[in-house]
Structure formats: C-alpha cells, structure tokens
Structure 1
Amino acid sequence: MASAVGILTAAGTYLILRLRTFPVIVGLALLSYAVNIFIFASGRLAVALPPVLSTQAEGYTDPLTQALVLTAIVISFGMTAVIVMLALGAFLETGSDRIDTDDDDEGAR
C-alpha cells in the first residue's frame, strides 16, 4: 500500500508540473487517488468484517475511514469536473491548452 501511495503521488506531482492542461487534470486525479488509498489504509484494512460493532463479530472495520474516502471521491469528482470546464473554456478562448504565462508578462511591459 505504501509503495502504491508513493508511486501515485510521484506520478501526480510530475503530471501537475506539465505545461498542458490535460496532464494537470490527470495529475490531480492521481493525487486524489493516492490520498484516498492513504486514508483507507490508515483505517486498519480488514477483510470480511462488518463496519459496525455487533455482538456476533470478533472485530470490526472502522467506518469513519470508509465515509471519508467516499466523501473524498465525490469531492474530487466535482473538482475534476470544474477544472475540465475551466480548461475547456481557456482552450476555446485562446486556441491552445498551454498554461505557461511567459507571453503575458512580456506583453505587459
């Protein structure tokens, strides 16, 4: 689990530093997946145990981490949709999906 979180974080960080909007969006998605796996793994991974404490079960799975991951999935989906719409609007306005600002600085002088 730790190596999966590390690889997803490294790949997401690398993609966020690109100069095109699509790799930035994919990088943000990879970072959100890494955070979701980290939160889920921090809740003591248990197989075939109920998420609530009952009298018949020997143990239970922590339901708080499952709720946090479910909430994070919904929020990351909404965030991705907003970023895609912003990137699409910028592409339609400028005709390019580059996100560098060097040209804007030179025109202001």
Structure 2
Amino acid sequence: MEVVLALAIGILIGSGVWLLLRPRTFQLVVGLSLISYAVNLFIFSIGGLAIDKEPILADGVPPDLAHYTDPVPQALVLTAIVISFAMTALLLVIVLASRGMTGTDHVDGTEA
C-alpha cells in the first residue's frame, strides 16, 4: 500500500509541476491544486497507514502496548483542505481580475 501511495504522490507532484510551467492561468490553478492534494496525501501518510485502529488511546492500556492511529496528521490535512480551498478561490478571483485588466490569460503577459 505504501508503494501505491508513493506513486500517487509522485504522479500528482509531477503533473502539478508540469501544469505550473504551462503559460495559461487555468493550468496554473489546476497545477497548484494537484500539488496541494499531493502534499495532503504526504501529510496523511506520515501518520502511518493503520486500518481499523482507534484514533485515541483506550483507558488502562499503556501507550507502548496500544495500537492506535495518530489523529494529528488527519487534523492537519483537514485544516490544509480548508486553507487550500480558500487560497484557490482567492487565486481565481485574482486571475479573473488580471484577465479583465490585461485581456489575456497568459501568465507571462504574451500571446502564444
């Protein structure tokens, strides 16, 4: 499972970087979103891939004997999702304002 997750993160990062290097603003927004998804998957994978485990410690069980899932990466990913949604909305507003003022959607300001 770790190999599949690592491949997914690599493909998302590679696709995101490729889209970031494209000249149009929509591709830039999609590339940043893909990189954001990859970073969220990476943060989520840091907590370990534990299936059917409790997110908190049970009473009376020592921490070294308990098998639990770390809830901190899950909380970080949830926060990152909200922040990336807000930043994507802000970026789209800036892109639309830039297109309205310049008349083009190219990042470098030139027509291809």
In 1, the alpha carbon distance for the partners of 2:22 and 2:110 equals 15
In 1, the alpha carbon distance for the partners of 2:67 and 2:27 equals 42
1:41 paired to 2:45? yes
Partner of 2:75: 67
Structure 2 residues without counterparts, runs of 5 or longer? none
In 2, the alpha carbon distance for the partners of 1:102 and 1:22 equals 15
1:3 paired to 2:11? no
Describe the SS at the equivalent of 1:100.
coil
TM, length-normalised to structure 2: 0.85
Alignment map for 1:1-109 (pairs within 5 Å): 1-55=5-59, 58-101=66-109
How many equivalent residue pairs?
103
* Identity %, equivalent residues: 51
Structure 1 residues without counterparts, runs of 5 or longer? 104-109
Deviation at 1:56, TM superposition (A): 8.2
Give RMSD over aligned pairs: 1.7
In 1, the alpha carbon distance for the partners of 2:42 and 2:82 equals 16
In 2, the alpha carbon distance for the partners of 1:56 and 1:71 equals 31
Deviation at 1:50, TM superposition (A): 1.7
